[in-house]
Structure 1
Amino acid sequence: MNRAARMTRELLHSATIMTVDPADRIVEGGWLAIEDGRIAALGSASNQPAIGGFDRVTDLSGHLLMPGLVNAHTHSVMVLFRGHAEGHSLLTMDGWYNTIREPELAMVAEDVAPAVALSCAEMALSGTTTFCDQYFFAEEIAGAAGKAGLRAVVAYGIVQLGDEVRGAEELARATAFVEGQRSADGRIVPWFGPHAPYVDNTEALLAEEVVVANRLGCGVHLHMACGPEDNEETLARYGTTASVALEKAGFFNGRIHAAHCLDLSDEDIAVFARAEAASIAHCASAGLRSGREAICPVVPLRKAGVTVALGTDNVAANNAYDMVAEMRVAGLVASHRERQAQPISSRELVRMATIDGAKALGLDHEIGSLEVGKAADLVAIDISGPGYSPVPDVATLLVYSGSGRDTRHVWVAGERIVDDRKLTRRAFADIRTDYATAYEIFWRRVAARREAA
């Protein structure tokens, strides 16, 4: 049953509406109508329709109504590792392998759903309606995300680690996942997810992944330019960076969504700019916590015309799913990197967390802005409490004074999945209880495996 069909017409009114449309309109005292899961109309108080024809009417005085936030890079299962990577850089091969990969070997499918459920709950309660995931156990992630009601691009994680047979087997499994996983309601979108180039996916495998992804009409989501390991092999073999080498191999002929990209040269930026559908997920908080000196060159990338979205990364590297906080950190690190006050405006940061994220995932025709005909993926944030005050631009208020925890209502495809700060599909207390049990079982299993070794 289509859950949104339970209430086909809803009117939201008296809100400050940040549309993030091409004109970047902000409507004070605005209203928005939802019909059959889509935005049917919106406008100002002067042309608000009568409330009698709606199944539900919500007064959003003192609220900001905006598109749902898009978390363009995360690993939802890895909430199991939150707090276990302190003092380690997950953007180096050693840090990732010794801190994360080793305990991952004890993971089983039963660990996944409770972890993803908690991650989805935290994302929804802080205003995220769409996330891009890349990990193992992709089918379990897709199932849990579907139950949570969020929109998700789920990339099947492929780790080769120099084993050609393993790489071929993983590509075959990923292909089967993509072919069989498209959800009927369109909320779950399957992709390929090679972990990283050269570090654990060979040039040949990456090129083949793009060919298959293009045939199936999906994207490829991976980590790139996280550290010197990415470029070591290609510099030794070709005298070029990984991005340049992969462009020559045809890798950038598909939809490529690359996370982190801290170590990009001007030539690398040109590679992304030349590609028809290449984008970057900037994970500012995770980059800072990693201890890496490099910072993703967001300003030069955007000037070159490259789509740059925002992501949290996993919550072992970041610890939080708050995309409002991620906007703020992204703005701060851009100022630091460019030695310039606010080289990215607050409105641009909001766009990076909404419509640019949607564009990176190939979903901008459907989500990312409040426009008539698009899916009703939107959030209402209470801006009437402490820390908020009248300002010339509400985007600045949100980015530099706001918090995702001020989210009050959330809709995905017109379904209200958060109502007055409470999840509607399943109580948060139950989700947390199930997760606590799964967490204890997982780490007991990790300890037993270490003792046996």
Structure 2
Amino acid sequence: MTSELLHGATVLTVDADDTHYTSGWVAIRDGRIHGVGDATTMPDPTSFDRVTDLTGHLVMPGLVNAHTHTAMVLFRGRSEGHSLLTMEGWYNTIRVPELSLEGRDIGPAVALSCAEMALSGTTTFCDQYFFAEEVAAAADAAGLRAVIAYGIVELGDRARGIDELSKAAAFVEGQRRGRVIPWFGPHAPYVDNSEALLQDEVAEANRLGCGLHLHMACGPEDNEQTLAQYGVTAAQALEKAGFFAGRVHAAHCLDLSAEDIAVFARAPAASVAHCATAGLRSGREAICPVVDLRAAGVTVALGTDNVAANNAYDMVAEMRMAGLVASHREGRAQPISSRELVRMATIDGARALGIDGETGSLEVGKAADIVAFDMRGPGWSETPDVETALVYSGSGRDLRHSFVAGEALVRDGALTRQSLASIRETYSATYADFWDRVAQNGAAA
């Protein structure tokens, strides 16, 4: 592989000490970070295949979108006026049209989602949906790092649940794409996955050594159903069922009690994906108790959720929204600092997915998953705090360069593997065909 020296930039390493350099450099060799430092320690540029001057840029670890459903870009703009965190909103605007989905729809949809993520600073994402093999193939083609959780929905049909789990296990066992990590994705415990199936999923996940990604505590309906059936919340019921014995990554977690938080804190590898924008757009009164979770030692990452609920993949905007809703929930200014928000969108996201030894910070030996934001625009005027400038003044649209494992996926604001125009053209045809099919099937939203 080639080598490249990035220099002249403000560098945020997001290491344990939050080391940063006002005029720094990052060396990339063989897909890994070979060195990081300030101008006084910069290596000889002539020893690199490529040298890139990033004066006026912020160089930092790639962002981690810890919860999304990339194929659901097909539903963007189709759920206005509905909450996707209620059974009514999800069933009528998403689930019924989903019945017309075919495998051929997935690749073009995921390709567009990956393009939007790459062009706004995301280098790793966690996806949970149907057609996991097609999602994984499209993510691999785009070059992003991805945890792909095979969506498992039982809906009261035990035979279906067992069949879905068998297919999920085959997906995990057969996955061989270098930047793709396969997981199980039980959609929502006790809503569309029975306790018996959940226990089977835990046993299989333990056998295969994979993580579990699910939705939890999405709102009153979710909690009321679980309380009525089991007398305790989903988190407490799952703990009794042994679900928290391995790696568990739970999205949303809006309505968590103090005991629920203790469940997460007791678990060896449990984390939360906070999707602030999607929760607000869905009309949820409750807000994920991020401050309390973090105080208890629970890893909290950030996610966009699907873009039918968000409606964008901009993780810079997601950092900002997470900061704003935390201030509102706690009733005080900045209970989560900008620096902490940056960590939640990088190293904490990587930690939630079990890959913090590989990515999430700029440290020697880690994969060169690196992004560069242009700070020369008017919103980035001189500031003593570059993290605050990024979170509250910046935008994913300021992204200029993005690397995954040392490969430039975005250079000078343009995709390198495939043009955005060609991705859009293919997607537009797929979108039209899909919604024509929905109409023909009598399931128009």
How many Å apart are 1:231 and its aligned residue?
A: 2.6
- Secondary structure of 1:450's counterpart equals coil
Aligned residues of 1:89 and 1:290 also touching (Cα < 8 A)? yes
Find 1:88's aligned residue among 82, 86, 90: 82
Q: Does 1:421 align with 2:409?
A: no
Aligned residues of 2:96 and 2:443 also touching (Cα < 8 A)? no
Counterparts of 1:6-17 in structure 2, within 5 Å, are 8-17=2-11
Alpha-carbon separation, structure 2, partners of 1:260 and 1:386:
34
Q: Which residue of 2 aligns with 1:226?
A: 218
* TM, length-normalised to structure 2: 0.99
Aligned residues of 2:409 and 2:415 also touching (Cα < 8 A)? yes
Aligned residues of 2:97 and 2:443 also touching (Cα < 8 A)? no
Q: Which residue of 1 aligns with 2:201?
A: 209
Deviations 1:58-104 (A, max 9, x none): 00000000000000000000000000000100001121111100000
Alpha-carbon separation, structure 2, partners of 1:359 and 1:81:
30
- Secondary structure of 1:330's counterpart equals helix
Deviations 1:362-391 (A, max 9, x none): 000000000000000010000111211111
Q: CA RMSD in A?
A: 1.1
How many Å apart are 1:451 and its aligned residue?
A: 6.9
Q: Which residue of 2 aligns with 1:193?
A: 185
**Structure 1 segments unaligned to the other structure (5+ residues):** none
Q: Which residue of 2 aligns with 1:365?
A: 357
Find 1:105's aligned residue among 99, 106, 114: 99
Q: Which residue of 1 aligns with 2:68?
A: 74
Alpha-carbon separation, structure 2, partners of 1:237 and 1:32:
54
- Secondary structure of 1:379's counterpart equals strand
Alpha-carbon separation, structure 2, partners of 1:424 and 1:152:
18
Question: Which consecutive aligned stretches of 4+ in structure 1 deviate over 6 angstroms post-superposition?
Answer: none
Find 1:280's aligned residue among 272, 285, 292: 272
Q: Does 1:321 align with 2:321?
A: no
Q: Which residue of 2 aligns with 1:141?
A: 135
Q: Which residue of 2 aligns with 1:309?
A: 301
Alpha-carbon separation, structure 1, partners of 2:131 and 2:400:
32
How many Å apart are 1:229 and its aligned residue?
A: 2.8
Alpha-carbon separation, structure 1, partners of 2:352 and 2:96:
31
Find 1:246's aligned residue among 238, 244, 248: 238
How many Å apart are 1:234 and its aligned residue?
A: 3.5
Aligned residues of 1:376 and 1:412 also touching (Cα < 8 A)? yes
Aligned residues: 445
**Counterpart residue type for residue 39 of structure 1:** I
Alpha-carbon separation, structure 2, partners of 1:201 and 1:267:
22
Alpha-carbon separation, structure 2, partners of 1:345 and 1:182:
39
Aligned residues of 2:59 and 2:373 also touching (Cα < 8 A)? yes
Alpha-carbon distance change, 248 to 424 in structure 1, aligned in 2, over 3 angstroms: same
**Counterpart residue type for residue 35 of structure 2:** A
Aligned residues of 1:197 and 1:230 also touching (Cα < 8 A)? no
Counterparts of 1:349-360 in structure 2, within 5 Å, are 349-360=341-352
Alpha-carbon separation, structure 2, partners of 1:398 and 1:170:
42
Counterparts of 1:247-266 in structure 2, within 5 Å, are 247-266=239-258
- Secondary structure of 2:378's counterpart equals coil
Alpha-carbon separation, structure 1, partners of 2:224 and 2:160:
23
Find 1:32's aligned residue among 26, 32, 52: 26
